[in-house]
Structure 1
Amino acid sequence: MSAMSNTNWDRRNVLRAAMGLAATGGLAACGGNTGRSGGSGEALVQYFHAYGEAGTEQAIKRYAAAYDKARVTTQWITGTNFESKLFSALLTKNAPDMFEFHPQIQMIKSGQVADLSDIMEPVKDDFNPADIASHTIDGKIWGVRMIDDPQFFYYRKSMLEDAGVEPPTTLDELVEAAAKLTTDKVKGVFLGNSITPVMNPLIWSTGANTLTDKNEIAYHTDEVAAGLKKLRTMFKDGHLLLDAPADWWDPSAITQGLVAIQWCGMWAMPVIQKALGDDVGIIPFPTSADGGKPAVTNGGWSMFVNAKSKNVDLAKEYVKWLWIDQKKYQEDWSLSYGFHIPPRTSLAESATKLKTGLPAEGVKLFNEFGHFDNPAWTQAMIVALESVIADTVRKGGDPEAALDKADKIVNRELKKLFG
């Protein structure tokens, strides 16, 4: 789900955090009773980042209150850097028993998360196979996916029609469209204030990937370098929105008419449709090289159990109860606040809100062009490629040099993980 304008951090980059974050201290500043003292019975604490959609915090707390085997307290963490606050807390005695995050190989290697195979095995055939694959490391399943979040371009149909522009199917067409759609009041395209959300889609749209199946660098190609130059053209020519009041995960840039085409997530679809009615369409990140194909980022969030919790078994029981047994809550979480694709196949198939119109198109793009989490893609690797965008698109540096620089960091990380 989205962090709307109440936060100002890019919380949707896949695999945003790393266990290796230097971290000290607890979470005093985050507020909220930890639930560890007073009252009777067992107590559990869970961490969630502050979702932007109205009603989400109340929903998570409502589900927790319905559980009768423990008092479950939710830390709803607002502000920036959910991941660093989470991983700081995991190093203290006030660590949460359960927390939401993305599948990451470091968490397993460092013994931070509990093996959830026993609760997942009986139901894994009812989960999206790609979600099971991204959460399976060393033959064990380490997390329970709660929501799948495709990200793609939204466009204003009327603005494209007025400019005589067809929805772009190639990156060259997107560059041309950005120029034609930019006026003194409207920018052509919004890729996020930092432009970094489209780094991975750019790689995928050339036909490349971040890593090979053997965990070697796969992103450093001539086609990716050429794609970076095309993004640079849009930046240099002033056709990108760069100072949006809220970042890319918030749909206000497109709903307020600041931009004609915006990269955002399916979570924002109800808000966008309410604001714009039928004057909105969606497209994947367009093909950017011969042999490439359009790309959609599949983000999302999963529930993990802290392996160092004093109540691992009880925490696992709660996670099973809520995210495996309680289908009505899972459906509510996916469909009542923003639009997300339920990772449970049975729920996805019965989700009437996603069956027609724009939501159905979003599901189709997710199924056809979506790329899921790679648990070997670490925070340091993410930051390395974010620097490539900064060095090339924003500063006009040589893509080859920037990619060479990233390679050193990525190879160092790969060596740490795989020897």
Structure 2
Amino acid sequence: MGAEIGRRGFLVVAGLLGLSACGSDTGRGGSGDGTLRHWYHAYGEDGVQDAVRRYAAAYPGAKVEVQWNPGDYDSKVVTALQNSAVPDVFEAQVKVDWVRQKQVVPLDDLLGDTRDDFVRSLLDSQTVDGRLYGIPQAIDTQVLYYRPSLLSKAGVTPPRTVDELIDAAKRVNAGGVRGFFAGNDGGVNVLTAPLLWSAGLDFLSADGKAPGFDDPRAATVFGKLRELHQSGALLLGAPTDWSDPGAFVDGLTAMQWTGLWNLPKIRAAHGDDIGVLPFPRLDSRGAESVPVGAYSAMVNARSGNVDAAKAYVKWLWVEKTEYQTEFATAFGAHLPARRSLAAKTGDGPAKDVVGFVTEGGRIANPARWSSRANTALTDAVSRIAREGAEPTGELRAALQTARDEIARLDR
């Protein structure tokens, strides 16, 4: 969804990083010795790398080597899938092109009777043409944080509609504290999807065969973002962007749209003076929502040890629930990918977010929503919100690009 830069999962494929860490291994399992190579991107929290290496060392079925990949991880994976048997297992979000080119392996048979325990939207996000290609590892989401004391002082109730959000932002915008912060672009990237969902729309139609925003309500709801920009209540030019809690922690804004992963820092700064909400609905035809994204464990179809790699993925991300819980909760605020585990997680705001995900979690990065279509829509929303462009005309061009991309993927 837009240019997601959140802690896990909300990433966009771009650029190219060399594969020197892979050496020249192209044999079975990467080296011909039966060892499984497992790639992760470089998580920022202390302890994650040690934890995943501990999990790998505990696996009884094979030797597993973990590779930590700083830098442009997603592009590194794209290149590896085209040329190499390394890695055998890797974390990513499935892409339709990978499936079409038979670069990844279906994993439906790994879930068994645990399928219904996984958050459905996560499984849907890793499914292409009815087949599952990734086992979700954890849930990342974003929520609307607010300071109850500041809203109460202004006589404002927590907003449950987009109009209430705009009104609240204007009324608490005083005394050096801005009303709302959703990034230094004014929310163009990070709020495009929640705005669509608030109107009962989406990037794609339910069957994925057409754009999901070919509706006059799209122009209406993006016009609301323009109204927010014109209100003067948005914080712009903050020292950090939306994915960092700095603006909210430092008291620069009364409300911020940011990740659940920031909850520990926000709690440390404001104690109990915090509340969380899903993104508001436009009206009774829309819905409250939170974006759901996650890296999933996937298997390289070029691996010489596909069956062994699948067995390892099943052990780690289906059977070892204690590892799944630790991975999601011990290194920052995230949720396990399984409902039974998430329900036992946290209290207060964290528990509220479990409900948001269960009731209104939406796929943040659909496999069939291409980066080209996303850029076209985001550029249109930017011109509407930041330059005051007429919404209907701007969206017309984005719709055509989306149709072209859908047709390309269907060829």
Question: TM-score scaled by structure 2?
Answer: 0.88
Could you say if the C-alpha distance between residues 32 and 335 of structure 1 is closer, same or farther in structure 2, counting changes exceeding 3 Å?
A: farther
Cα displacement (A) at 1:348: 2.8
Name the structure 1 match of 2:123: 132
Name the structure 2 match of 1:47: 39
Unaligned runs of 5+ in 2: none
Query: 1:58-99 deviations in whole A, cap 9, x for unaligned?
Result: 2222212222444433333334x4322321333343742222
Q: Is the 8 A contact 1:45 1:96 kept in 2?
A: yes
Q: Aligned to 2:176, which of 180, 185, 194? A: 185
Does 1:344 find its partner at 2:338? yes
Cα displacement (A) at 1:122: 4.7
Letter in 2 for 1:118: D
Mean alpha-carbon deviation: is it higher for 392-401 or for 124-133?
A: 124-133
Does 1:363 find its partner at 2:335? no
Name the structure 2 match of 1:3: none
Letter in 2 for 1:161: S
Q: Is the 8 A contact 2:199 2:283 kept in 1?
A: yes
Cα displacement (A) at 1:290: 4.5
Q: Aligned to 1:61, which of 18, 42, 53? A: 53
**Structure 2: how far apart are the matches of 1:39 and 1:416?**
36
Could you say if the C-alpha distance between residues 107 and 121 of structure 1 is closer, same or farther in structure 2, counting changes exceeding 3 Å?
A: farther
Letter in 2 for 1:340: H
Name the structure 2 match of 1:104: 95
Q: Aligned to 2:264, which of 248, 267, 270? A: 270
Could you say if the C-alpha distance between residues 64 and 112 of structure 1 is closer, same or farther in structure 2, counting changes exceeding 3 Å?
A: same
Name the structure 2 match of 1:75: 67
Sequence identity percentage? 36
**Structure 2: how far apart are the matches of 1:71 and 1:301?**
23
SS of 2:54 mapped into structure 1: helix
Could you say if the C-alpha distance between residues 33 and 46 of structure 1 is closer, same or farther in structure 2, counting changes exceeding 3 Å?
A: farther
Letter in 1 for 2:399: D
Cα displacement (A) at 1:371: 1.2
- Number of positions where the alignment pairs a residue of Structure 1 with one of Structure 2: 403
**Structure 1: how far apart are the matches of 2:362 and 2:51?**
29
Name the structure 2 match of 1:297: 291
Q: Is the 8 A contact 1:25 1:89 kept in 2?
A: no
Letter in 1 for 2:403: N
**Structure 2: how far apart are the matches of 1:77 and 1:272?**
28
Does 1:165 find its partner at 2:156? yes
Name the structure 2 match of 1:149: 140
Q: Is the 8 A contact 2:104 2:299 kept in 1?
A: yes
Q: Aligned to 1:229, which of 223, 229, 232? A: 223
Could you say if the C-alpha distance between residues 198 and 14 of structure 1 is closer, same or farther in structure 2, counting changes exceeding 3 Å?
A: farther
> What is the CA RMSD across the aligned residues, in angstroms?
2.9
**Structure 1: how far apart are the matches of 2:178 and 2:40?**
34
Letter in 2 for 1:10: I
Question: TM-score scaled by structure 1?
Answer: 0.86
Letter in 1 for 2:149: S
Name the structure 1 match of 2:5: 10
Could you say if the C-alpha distance between residues 152 and 357 of structure 1 is closer, same or farther in structure 2, counting changes exceeding 3 Å?
A: same
Could you say if the C-alpha distance between residues 62 and 243 of structure 1 is closer, same or farther in structure 2, counting changes exceeding 3 Å?
A: farther
Could you say if the C-alpha distance between residues 36 and 375 of structure 1 is closer, same or farther in structure 2, counting changes exceeding 3 Å?
A: closer
Query: 1:199-231 deviations in whole A, cap 9, x for unaligned?
Result: 011001011222222321221322221222221
SS of 1:100 mapped into structure 2: strand
Cα displacement (A) at 1:153: 0.3
Name the structure 2 match of 1:204: 197
Letter in 1 for 2:59: Y
Q: Is the 8 A contact 1:15 1:103 kept in 2?
A: no
Does 1:412 find its partner at 2:397? no
Could you say if the C-alpha distance between residues 84 and 40 of structure 1 is closer, same or farther in structure 2, counting changes exceeding 3 Å?
A: closer
SS of 1:397 mapped into structure 2: coil
Q: Is the 8 A contact 1:47 1:98 kept in 2?
A: yes
Name the structure 2 match of 1:384: 376
**Structure 2: how far apart are the matches of 1:42 and 1:36?**
12
Could you say if the C-alpha distance between residues 58 and 248 of structure 1 is closer, same or farther in structure 2, counting changes exceeding 3 Å?
A: farther
Cα displacement (A) at 1:154: 0.5
Cα displacement (A) at 1:32: 9.1
Q: Is the 8 A contact 1:64 1:73 kept in 2?
A: yes
